[in-house]
Amino acid sequence: MTTVALTRAAGGNDELAARLGAVPGIETVECPLIRIEPFEPMQIRADAYDWVVLTSRVGADLFFARLEGEAPAVATIGPGTADAVRAHGVEPSLVAHVSTQEGLVAELPRPAGRVLFAGAADARPLLARELGADVVALYRTVDERPEAFPDANLVVLASASAARALAAVGVRLPCVSIGPVTSAAARALGLEVEAEAATHDVDGLVEAVKLAASRGGSSPS
């Protein structure tokens, strides 16, 4: 049996846990390494923009909760973010094929016009720099320090923030990463990336965990 630690913020691991729990030989344990702290509610008017860029489910939900008036064309990073946008009744005009800021910048039509990026306060600045985007910080991610990290064979990292938090805890277990940015952050911190999701979503993580589990051992005793 392979035990997999899931490290997203509380409430963010449910779908992945259910999917992995249905895979023979894999069990999961939740150990959030980050938490989401939304900033004080504010009204956002975006109708003066040509595009709004959203890069996470959390960012999409907070943006639409604060939106006043109509949204411009929406560009997203990641199919999960796109699904969150659709849940608010909006079809994204662009879902980047490569789920990174670089991928979105490469695919956004030029000239892009006025662009608004709404997301985490600690997001990488590449979008704002490359697109001249205005930035609205909706939330921040804060490290969680568990009293004890669970016995596990693998750790799933769904963000660079989770990689930094894992390194701070001092745990050195093989990791499964959601994508290249998270993988790069993990390796820079001395973490071992055993597998990386080919698609940066739950489907990709499930397949990457299955691959990593096939290479590893059984549950720790």
Domain segments of the chain as ranges: 2-33+146-215, 37-141
Sites in the chain below the pLDDT cut of 70: 217-221
* Amino acid 221: pLDDT: 35
Task: Name the pairing type of β-strands 73-76 and 51-54.
Answer: parallel
Which class would CATH give 2-33+146-215? alpha beta
Helices 160-169 + 180-188 axis angle, to 10:
20
* Amino acid 199: pLDDT: 85
67 vs 214: CA distance, rounded Å: 45
Q: What is the pLDDT of residues 66-75, one digit of tens each?
A: 999 999 999 9
Does 2-33+146-215 match 37-141 in CATH topology?
yes
Question: Which residues, other chains included, contact 125 with Cβ-Cβ below 8 Å and sequence gap of 6+?
Answer: none
* Amino acid 218: pLDDT: 41
Helical H segments across the chain, by residue range: 14-21, 57-66, 79-86, 101-107, 126-131, 160-169, 180-188, 202-215
CATH number corresponding to 37-141: 3.40.50.10090
CB 152 within 8 A of CB 173: yes
Q: What is the reported pTM?
A: 0.83
CB 94 within 8 A of CB 107: yes
CB 1 within 8 A of CB 28: no
* Amino acid 217: pLDDT: 46
Question: Which residues, other chains included, contact 186 with Cβ-Cβ below 8 Å and sequence gap of 6+?
Answer: 157, 160, 163, 166, 167, 175, 177, 193
H or E segment to which residue 143 belongs:
strand 134-143
In the three-class reduction of DSSP (H, G, I as helix; E, B as strand; rest coil), residue 198 is classed as coil
